[in-house]
Amino acid sequence: MPALTDQDIANYQRNGYLCPLDILSPKEAAEGRADVEALEADYAGKLEKPVSDYLRMNAHFASDVPLRIARDPRVLDKIEGILGPDILLWSCEYFIKEANTKKIVSWHQDLTYWGMDGSDHEVTAWIALSPATEHSGCMKFVPGSHTQTIVPHSDTFAQDNLLSRGQEIAVDVDENDAIFAELQPGQMSLHHGRLFHGSGPNVSDDRRIALVMRFIRPDTPSTGASKDFAMLVRGMDTSGNRINVMPPPGSFTPAQMRLYDKITAAQTDVLAEGLGADAQLYDGQEVANG
């Protein structure tokens, strides 16, 4: 499978997103869905927190299952077209909207609370493991909005909002400017961290399941109070900006849980900067904050 073409790169730079990109076969996508649903079934009630909490943030440190896709050369070849030959995996998580749910993602810019100083040196890869359509709550983008700096956001902590702080852009977004990023299982979209994007409810009868990976260049700034972590997946990192980690194999082993807790606590401190001591992220999950 070829890497991105010059036209692909030009489209990404102009619009702030690129989709759809064919990555996995339908069979591989079905296997990826079966893998995550097996984790949900096998570890239900057996962990300190619900399985969904671990899958929602830093899933690749809790289980090596998502790494089968995140380190796939077909994925990394596309990422290299945007970031160049040196690539870190900064986060990896499953975004799951249950069937017939009111859960939404409000209009936002990813880089608002990531401690990366609004950098251009990152890209989010979003792979559909089930159909992502307007009906099932696929992502929607405002083309070209990534050319703006980080705009003001309001923290709503709304129960039906899947974002960490229920954050939403505090300026008007014209829905008529948006495009729906529909994907079939196995297809991928790429988008910039300053791009205005969100998604609606899943009113279909099937779960909307996606594996979402955030890749960064090693020289991406790290401005949070806590030391940041990332996993080198291609090339080399001589920057020293982040602690490079390689999680052990398996799923939910004691070694993985120690690593997961340490890294998630550090990144949660960054996500929660500016909040009160009793703040909660991700629809009621308690966070360590100061």
Query: CB within 8 A of 85, min separation 6: which ones?
Result: 234, 235
Looking at residue 170, its pLDDT comes to 57
Q: How many domains does the chain have?
A: 1
| Confidence category of residue 257, pLDDT binned at 50, 70, 90 | very high
Residue 286 has pLDDT above 50, yes or no: no
Residue 284 has pLDDT above 50, yes or no: no
Question: In this structure, is residue 27 part of a structural domain?
Answer: yes
Residue 215 has pLDDT above 90, yes or no: yes
Tens digits of residue pLDDT in 103-162: 888 888 888 778 887 788 999 999 999 999 999 999 999 999 999 887 776 665 556 655
Answer with the residue of higher pLDDT: 35 or 171.
Answer: 35
Tens digits of residue pLDDT in 156-186: 555 665 554 545 665 677 888 999 999 999 9
Domain that holds residue 244: 6-286
Tens digits of residue pLDDT in 186-201: 999 999 999 999 999 9
| Confidence category of residue 102, pLDDT binned at 50, 70, 90 | confident
Question: In this structure, is residue 263 part of a structural domain?
Answer: yes
| Confidence category of residue 278, pLDDT binned at 50, 70, 90 | very low
Please tell me the distance from the alpha carbon of residue 113 to that of residue 153, in angstroms, as a whole number.
10
Residue 281 has pLDDT above 50, yes or no: no
Looking at residue 223, its pLDDT comes to 82
Question: In this structure, is residue 102 part of a structural domain?
Answer: yes
Is 0.85 topped by the overall pTM? yes
Please report, for the domain that includes residue 75, its CATH number: 2.60.120.620
Question: In this structure, is residue 240 part of a structural domain?
Answer: yes
How large is the average pLDDT for residues 52-66?
Answer: 96
| Mean of pLDDT over the chain | 88
Question: In this structure, is residue 1 part of a structural domain?
Answer: no
Question: In this structure, is residue 152 part of a structural domain?
Answer: yes
